[in-house]
Structure 1
Amino acid sequence: MQRQARMLELLQELVNIDSDSYNKTGVDQVGKRMIEAYKGIGFKATLLPQKEYGNHIVLRDDAAINPSILVLAHMDTVFPKGTTATRPFSTEGDYAFGPGVADMKGSLVTTLFAMERLVERNEEARKEVEILLTSDEEIGAPSARSFIEAHVKGKKAVLVMEPARKDGSLVTFRRGGGRYTLKVYGVAAHSGNEPEKGASAIEEMAHKTIGLHGLSNKEIGIQINVGMIKGGVAVNTIADYAEAEIDVRISTKEQALEVDQAITQLCQTTVVPGTSIKLEGGLTRPPMERNQETVALFSQIKTIGQKLQLNITEASSGGGSDASFASALGVPTIDGMGPIGAGFHGQDEYLELSSLESRSDLLYETIKSLVQA
């Protein structure tokens, strides 16, 4: 079977496995399939068992001793169990569709086939690659972060297999961020008979929402968004409880402490008498900053792309990825090394099938170049 057909066959198999971050069974099924595939090319798998989330997996060639390059990918998606039953893998022309087809089942395929080529051609570079497949990237890597940081240390480069942007761009900058939950406690009372006995948690939440949004600063890349609010039990009852989910985005490491302190300070006092506040959460991902090391690595990959007749450009992203953890440790990191796609996390997510081979070749040539440098 030709390479493209084999890639397509594996892609269909992976996409049709439900593997949202909280579906340990599904993620582990994807992991089992990848272990099996890598075993076929002489790679050894080491499981990093998890109780709550899927198991993380480290993959190395049998002859590898101290790999210098980390290839980072994730097996989880955002789509809940049952999605593949109603919207399974499909193709139309040069496009493939299905839950997680681009983010990032396609990248699991291109990574495997790049490694296969290294093995087939008996490239010494195969011994310099360590692959880390994680299970909870889509929810901020609560269990994977420590493993990512441990495996990044000592590496000369990290290649993150998030999909390339729809124009084929690699990602050289990502905003960091985190999530907070704000809980406001009030005093319930009938809004008609005895409103003076109540203290509205919703009113206090309104003050806090305005205050939190006021901490945003678009000019320097700080964005704070109260995205979800719930509270109250009836329209004629003063609410004794309200809760909000807050999304925070930052652009530099220095902003992390500043923003966290500003949010904490805002939530230390109340405006509405009789209410109290509890703030939970924090900043969980540092930004992936476009530093000199990243620019140099991008330039190297761009040159490799030219030899492959690929026009490699760079882009920034407001969303987070595990690339941030690697970049924050000072190791040259490039994101978006996977195949080309768009519509991530939505029903219209797609992957360009023609990019499967070309982006696998780009990864193969990049690894060879990094080892030779």
Structure 2
Amino acid sequence: MIETYLESKKQEMYELLERLVNTDSGTYNKKGVDAVGNILIEKFEEIGMDVKIHSEQKLGNHLEIKASSDSDPKILIIAHMDTVFPKGEAKKRPFQVIGHKALGPGVNDEKASHVQVLYALKALMEAGSDAYKNVHIIFNSDEEIGSPSSKPLIKQVAENKQYSIVVECARPNGGIVTERKGVGHFTLYVKGKSAHAGVEPELGRSAIEEISHKILKLQQLNNYDEGISVNVGLVKGGTSTNTIPSVARADIDVRYKHEDQATEIVRKITEISQEEHVSGTFTKLKGDMSRPPMQKTNETEQLINVIHEAAADLDMSIREVSSGGGSDASFTASEGIPTVDGMGPMGEFSHSEKEEYTDLKTFPQYTALLAKTIEKLSR
């Protein structure tokens, strides 16, 4: 029985989780991400899975895993190996268990999911189920920065798939993610003219003054009732207090609920960037909408029903939640593939410096849920 097997393997699962968490793998730490990848290659090859490495020069390599190189599985599972933490973070606060919580950098986002996917397949094999052969896994290395190098791979692998399961963490009280907002990132660069602020300020053209006008207008694009948020989260400019600033920069995060909102938001941001408030300044806008929204469809509803059935078999209850955060689920959902996210182990507080945790009490149960879902979808 899948549940019994996973209960018996809890200590093994915890030990592998500790090994992964104690390996730094920030997105730009190629050596660290590849070290996590090498652990996963070792573990998946041990159970007979075929692993293909997609090499990258600057970022970590991506892994593509299935039962055999010539198989044609219909279920895509996506997980990412990168975290948001700098080198040295794992040494600074290594893996630890307090009560039923596993703590450490990236434990919840999403190294527990690596262990979950591996042991879900091992549980299916132990149960004599061939459903593990119906799984195509992508471990990518750049999700935390929008998946620029892995997006083409995900879309390629997604062709002809019937289902997509993304194993970002499950939310407390059985929450799985069925809708996500689209995400955009933009940067404004303003060029002015420097001058001495005390001797000849009239000769200067303040880039900071110019960008301030634009920031106020950008913030007015927020429409929370419509699911639109525009946040100028970083601002830089100037060189000294006694110099009229010749340069300024603003980084903008955009979230939107429906695909048809994207064009209008981009149009308005572009218009704001082109307006001149301080004569003699020049503004350049860079960026785009990096992830489309993940929207629920009738086909997704059928997938969710199967997950409900799998949960009922385990005496679990799940509920649907929407998220303003982005994930790779958006890429497969935009291809028309029934997609569900938040199918990883349950936890909270991803990206936080101390609070991020995975709930070990429910870890085997959520691993069993993934295995049972794969089994039911493969029938």
SS at match of 2:156: helix
> Shift in Å at residue 236 of structure 1?
2.2
Is 1:229 matched with 2:235? yes
What's the CA shift for 1:2? Answer: 3.4
Q: How far off its partner does 1:255 sit?
A: 1.3
Q: Which residue of 2 aligns with 1:68?
A: 74
Q: CA deviation at 1:259?
A: 1.1
**What pairs up with 1:181-220 in 2 under 5 angstroms?**
181-220=187-226
Q: 1:323 to 1:118 in 2, by over 3 A?
A: same
Contact 2:119 2:367 in 1 (8 A): yes
Name 2:317's counterpart in structure 1: 311
Partner of 1:336: 342
* Counterpart in the other structure of 1:88: 94
Question: Which amino acid is 2:358 matched to?
Answer: L
Gaps spanning 5+ residues in structure 1: where? none
Q: For the Cα contact (< 8 Å) 1:63–1:127, is it kept in 2?
A: no
Q: Alignment partner of 1:245: what SS?
A: strand
Structure 1 runs of 4+ aligned residues shifted over 6 Å read: none
Say which of 242, 246, 252 aligns to 1:246. Answer: 252
What secondary structure does 1:238 align onto? coil
- Given that 1:64 and 1:128 are in contact with CA atoms closer than 8 Å, whether structure 2 keeps it comes out as no
Asked whether the 8 Å contact 1:171–1:336 carries over to 2, the reply is: yes
Q: 1:7 aligns with which of 10, 13, 17?
A: 13
Q: 5 Å matches for 1:153-192?
A: 153-192=159-198
Q: State the Cα RMSD in Å.
A: 1.3
8 Å Cα contact 1:205/1:242 also seen in 2: yes
Equivalent residue runs for 1:115-126 within 5 Å: 115-126=121-132
State the TM-score, normalized to the length of structure 1: 0.97
The residue type equivalent to 1:100 in the other structure is G
The counterpart of 2:358, out of the listed 315, 339, 351, is 351
**How many residues matched?**
372
8 A Cα contact 1:73 1:132, kept in partner? yes
Say whether 1:141 aligns with 2:147. yes
CA distance in 1, matches of 2:235, 2:122: 49
Map of 2:261 onto structure 1: 255
The worse-fitting range, judged by mean Cα deviation, of 82-91 and 289-298 is 289-298
8 Å CA contact retained: 2:173, 2:318: no
Alignment match, 2:61: 55
Distance 1:93 1:191 in 2: 59
Please, which of 137, 146, 157 is the counterpart of residue 151 of structure 1? Answer: 157
Report deviation, 1:61. 1.1
Q: Distance in 2 between matches of 1:333 and 1:264?
A: 32
Is the deviation greater in 8-17 or in 115-124?
115-124
Residue ranges of structure 2 left out of the alignment (5+ in a row):
1-6
Cα deviation code 1:332-353 (max 9, x no counterpart): 0000111000010012100100
Aligned to 2:3: none
- Once residues 172 and 326 of structure 2 are traced to their aligned partners in structure 1, the CA distance between those partners, rounded to angstroms, is 17
1:64-88 CA distances to partner (integer Å, 9 max, x unpaired)? 6110000111111111110011100
1:293 to 278, 295, 299: 299
User: Which of 335, 354, 369 is 1:362 aligned to?
Assistant: 369
- Displacement, 1:296? 2.2
Instruction: Kindly state the Cα deviation for residue 140 of structure 1 after the two structures are TM-superposed.
Output: 0.4
Alpha-carbon contact 1:64-1:126 (below 8 Å) kept:
no
Q: Secondary structure at the match of 2:274?
A: coil
SS in 2 for 1:237: coil
3-state SS of paired residue (1:163)? coil
One-letter amino acid matched to 1:303: E
**Alignment-mate amino acid for residue 92 of structure 2:** T
What SS does the corresponding residue of 1:243 show, helix, strand or coil? strand
User: 1:74 is matched by which residue type in structure 2?
Assistant: H
1:109-160 residue CA offsets vs partner (Å, 9 max, x unmatched): 0100001112222312122111111000011001000001111110000000
Between the two proteins, what is the percent identity of the paired residues? 45
Once the two structures are TM-superposed, the CA of residue 219 in structure 1 deviates from its matched residue by 1.5
- Shift, 1:63, TM fit: 8.0
Choose which of 99, 109, 112 in structure 1 pairs with 2:115. 109
For the 8 Å contact 2:181–2:325, the answer to whether it is kept is yes
How far apart, in 2, do the equivalents of 1:168 and 1:89 lie? 25
Mark the CA change 1:63 to 1:210 in structure 2 (over 3 Å): closer, same or farther.
closer
| Post-superposition offset of 1:256 | 1.5
Q: Distance in 2 between matches of 1:294 and 1:54?
A: 31
Separation in 2 of the partners of 1:257 and 1:207? 23
Q: Is the 8 A contact 1:95 1:351 kept in 2?
A: yes
1:277 aligns to 2:251 (yes or no): no
Once the two structures are overlaid, the 10-residue window that deviates more, 183-192 or 313-322, is 183-192
